Amino acid sequence: MATRAKAGFDPDGELAAATAAGDADAFEQLVRKYERPVLSTIYRYVGDRAAAEDVAQEAFLKVWRRAKSFKGRSSFSTWLYRVVVNQCLNFRRKRARAKNVPLDEAIAADGPGLDERLDEARRAAAVRAAVDELPPRQRMALILSKFEGRSYREIAEIMRTSTSSLESLLFRAKRNLKKKLLPLKERWRG
């Protein structure tokens, strides 16, 4: 029990060690804890629910198979998201995503406010398409920062880069988004 009192104790690290030893119950606990946030991150990256579920399954399978490679130099969460990021990047390399962005289900029904919902859905689709067109590392950095709310230090660790390189990556991502969205902003005003 003395280890629990130590600063930086990672209970998930203990579960990862048990998983590395073949403990399926420990692995199941990790999956239950991280399934939703991992799926959310992957969905934001791939943009398709079924594909996100497949990528998440592959990521967790990789965690099961490679649990012995977790050495505890970072938190388990950071190590897990490193696996997730790599799976997302592999997904993008293996499969060219369709350019069509489906409109939100909320616009399917006709009625009051349909024009506003259509405009909002078009704007959201344009932003989504612009994010999809970012280079893979810029896109992942932006997703982890803006949508997942992770700190720069944590993202840098997940992406295996320095904090200053991450800041540069995010700066370029924002600049690229601005270039893509500025012409659309002018159109939306008019």
In a domain, 2, yes or no: no
In a domain, 71, yes or no: yes
In a domain, 33, yes or no: yes
- What does the pLDDT look like over 80-128, one tens digit per residue? 999 998 898 888 777 644 344 444 444 444 455 655 666 666 777 777 7
Residues contacting residue 16 through CB under 8 Å, at least 6 positions apart? 26, 30, 67, 70, 72, 76, 79
In a domain, 84, yes or no: yes
In a domain, 28, yes or no: yes
For residue 42, the tally of other CB atoms under 10 A from its CB is 27
At residue 60, the pLDDT reads: 93
Residue 82 belongs to domain spanning:
9-189
Number of domains in the chain: 1
The overall pTM is greater than 0.85: no
CATH at residue 156 = 1.10.1740.10
For residue 79, the tally of other CB atoms under 10 A from its CB is 24
SS3 string, 16-50, reads: HHHHHCCCHHHHHHHHHHHHHHHHHHHHHHHCCHH
In a domain, 171, yes or no: yes
In a domain, 4, yes or no: no
Distance of CA 128 to the CA centre of its chain: 14
In a domain, 157, yes or no: yes
For the chain, the distance separating the N- and C-terminal CA atoms, rounded to the nearest angstrom, is: 65
- What does the pLDDT look like over 96-106, one tens digit per residue? 443 444 444 44
At residue 53, the pLDDT reads: 92
CB 97, CB 132: distance < 8 Å: yes
